[in-house]
Every structure is written in structure tokens, then in C-alpha cells.
Amino acid sequence: MAELSFGRAFAKGLSEEMARDPNIVVLGTDILMRGGHFGQVAGLGEQFGPTRVIDTPISEAGLVSLGMGAALLGLRPIVDLNFQDFMLGAMDELINQVAKWSYMSDGRLRVPLVIRASDGAAHGAGPQHSQSLEGWIASTPGLRVVVPSTPADVTGLLKTVLRQDDPVLFFMHKMLSAIKGEVPDEDVVIPLGQAAVRRAGDDVTIIAYGIMTSYALQAADSLAIEGISADVIDLRTLSPLDVQTVVTSVKRTSRAVVVHQAPTFGGFGGELTSIIQEQAFDYLDAPVVRVGARHTPVPVASILQEAVIPNVSDIVQAVKSIC
């Protein structure tokens, strides 16, 4: 079992899958030699050459269209958009075309396309490079949304999405790029729609995904000192969503806090809260609490960014408000 960073875990999984399946190709800007903005495909250009790791012009609409066409014709492309924010330049292609082809063809045409992008706030990245748009995409029928929080999950979930036939958005938080964790040497795949219970507890359920999973675990450590035991659930995928794991936990703990870095208003936490209210209302001893960013663009200045983005203390205070 090797200890790898988030980015190297992605490269490991992709390299193994490209060796297994010659139909997998990678499309993006600055990927052949540079290996991507975050080093997520570093070394693959040398390993597989320019016919499978393909540099493209800077056009998100063109990239997604190219990926869709390649997928429809039998390849399994990964389109690397670098930043999640950049997918907004390809929304018609993504929402009206990629997400709809299987439905419109009654399943006769499939689009096994994976779109990788780095999301979330980073120091000084500014309003146009710091967004968390996963909830918006997850609400679109026909798209799968994956948000890993550990290097092992990056590799395991990547292998899964490259072996299925639906279009997938694979979001990796920028601030997780350098974190390291153990990644199995063997071929491990993680099913979509299977959350992970990262910590067991009895007093409250904290539901998170992506970078906020580590924040939730830190909050749980702090709460444990004060005698509050938290169940921490890492969703891992938003579509499909593991409703059963969430509801089962909440029925046992009777309290829930939903956490994400996206703005609270209109965020994915609203959907989770509704599901909990609908399926576990009689078990709740307190209202479901949401923790998210303020409803404002992410500032450049660090001190302002800290005022906008939720932190560990926010999660702790949310839990204490209902425990």
C-alpha cells in the first residue's frame, strides 16, 4: 500500500485504467508535457504518448463536445477542465447534450465521458476560480457527480467511473491536491452511491463530502473532548446519493448537521435536509442544521475569504446548537 497525494492517486488510477483499456484517452490543456495545472496527469504523456494524452485548444465548449463525440463513437474519454468554474463555458454541451443522449435514444446511445475539474476555494484564487457548483450539476438528470475526500477514494472511484457508461463529473478540491493518504496496490473499485462512515458516534450525524469531510472529522475530535459523540458520513458521490446510510444514521442519532463549502442558500445541503425531514422526521429531536458559505462570491483577500468560507469552528457551533 503506497502513500500518495490526491493528484498522484488520480494519476495512478488513470494510468492503470489506460493500460487496461486502450479506449481511454485524456483531453485537456497543458496535459501532455505539464501534466495539468495540479499535476493530476503528470507522467501519463510520456507513458502513453500524444495519441492518448491529447493537448487541445483553450475552449471548454470544444473540449466537452469533442469528448462527447468520442464517447458516442466508442472511446472512453476523460476531459480535464482544470477548474470547475471553466465548465460554465460548456453548459449547453454538458446539460443539453451530454446529459440527454442516453435518454433521448432510449439507451441505444451511451456517453461514457468523465469530466475532471478542481473545485472549491483556494487562497487568493478569486471569485472566478473558487466556486463550488456540485449541487447545481447534481440536480441535472443524466449526470453522475463524484466528490472524493481521500486519495484512496480518488483511485477507487476513478476506476469505477471509467468502467461504466454514464457521463460523470469528477470534482477534486484544490486544497486537497497535496494531502497524502494510503492507496491500495491492488485493483479496488468503489461503487457509486456508497457513502463511507468515517467516524462512529451516537449524539449527532455530521454529513459532508469533499474537503469538508476532513473539517467534519476535526470538528468531531473537538466535540468528543466535550462529551459529544458524532457520526461522520462522507457522501463520496452526490448522484447517485446514498440516502439509506444517511437516514439510518439520523434515525439512530436523532440530530443532523449538513456541511458543504458551497453557499448555504441553494446548496446541496437543502436537498439533504429535505430528504432527512421526509424520511426521518419522527426520529428528529432538533431541526436539521446546515453549514455552508455565505451567499457572496469568494473574495481574493485571505481575511475576507475566511469570513465567507465555513470552517471547523462553524461545524462545532452548529452541532452545539442542537446537542
State yes or no: pLDDT of 65 exceeds 90.
yes
What burial letters (b/e) apply to 57-78, b meaning 16+ CB within 10 Å? eeebeebbbbbbebbbeebbbb
37 catalytic per annotation: no
Assess whether 281 and 174 both reside in one domain. no
Q: Which of 244, 156, 162, 155 is nearest to 195 (CA)?
A: 244
Whether residue 191 lies inside any domain: the answer is no
State yes or no: pLDDT of 34 exceeds 90.
no
Give the span between the Cα atoms of 209 and 126, in whole angstroms: 22
According to DSSP, residue 31 is labeled -
Q: Which of 171, 118, 108, 174 is nearest to 144 (CA)?
A: 171
Assess whether 36 and 171 both reside in one domain. yes
Give the span between the Cα atoms of 10 and 158, in whole angstroms: 7
Give the span between the Cα atoms of 263 and 285, in whole angstroms: 26
Residue 9, domain CATH: 3.40.50.970
Whether residue 190 lies inside any domain: the answer is no
Banded pLDDT at 98 (limits 50, 70, 90): very high
**194-196-200-203 Cα dihedral, nearest 10 degrees:** -60
Give the model's pLDDT for residue 163.
97
Domain boundary among 148, 183, 218: 183
Q: Percent of the chain scored above 70 by pLDDT?
A: 100
CB atoms within 10 A of CB 279: 16
How long, in residues, is the chain? 323
Banded pLDDT at 124 (limits 50, 70, 90): confident
Assess whether 206 and 313 both reside in one domain. yes
Identify the active-site residue in 37, 123, 129, 173.
129
DSSP letter for each residue of 210-263: THHHHHHHHHHHHHHHTT--EEEEE--EEES--HHHHHHHHHHHS-EEEEEEEE
- In three-state secondary structure terms, 130 is coil
Q: Which of 80, 151, 167 is nearest to 117 (CA)?
A: 80
Domain boundary among 119, 153, 183: 183
Give the model's pLDDT for residue 35.
80
Q: What mean pLDDT is predicted for residues 263-272?
A: 97
Assess whether 19 and 141 both reside in one domain. yes
Residue 27 has φ and ψ, to the nearest 5°, of: -125, 135
Give the span between the Cα atoms of 197 and 175, in whole angstroms: 22
Whether residue 32 lies inside any domain: the answer is yes
Assess whether 168 and 240 both reside in one domain. no
Assess whether 164 and 227 both reside in one domain. no
Residue 216, domain CATH: 3.40.50.920
Give the span between the Cα atoms of 212 and 201, in whole angstroms: 18
Whether residue 212 lies inside any domain: the answer is yes
Per-residue model confidence as pLDDT tens digits over 165-220: 999 999 999 999 889 999 999 999 999 999 999 999 999 999 999 999 999 999 99
Domain count, the chain: 2
Assess whether 83 and 222 both reside in one domain. no
According to DSSP, residue 297 is labeled P
Assess whether 152 and 200 both reside in one domain. no
Whether residue 98 lies inside any domain: the answer is yes
Q: What mean pLDDT is predicted for residues 53-81?
A: 96
- In three-state secondary structure terms, 115 is strand
Whether residue 79 lies inside any domain: the answer is yes
Domain boundary among 183, 210, 231: 183
Assess whether 22 and 97 both reside in one domain. yes
DSSP letter for each residue of 142-174: T-EEE---SHHHHHHHHHHHTTSSS-EEEEEEG
Report field, pTM of the whole predicted structure over 0.75:
yes
Assess whether 164 and 68 both reside in one domain. yes
Whether residue 188 lies inside any domain: the answer is no
Assess whether 206 and 163 both reside in one domain. no
Domain of residue 273 covers 196-320
Whether residue 216 lies inside any domain: the answer is yes
Q: What mean pLDDT is predicted for residues 243-265?
A: 98
Assess whether 118 and 229 both reside in one domain. no
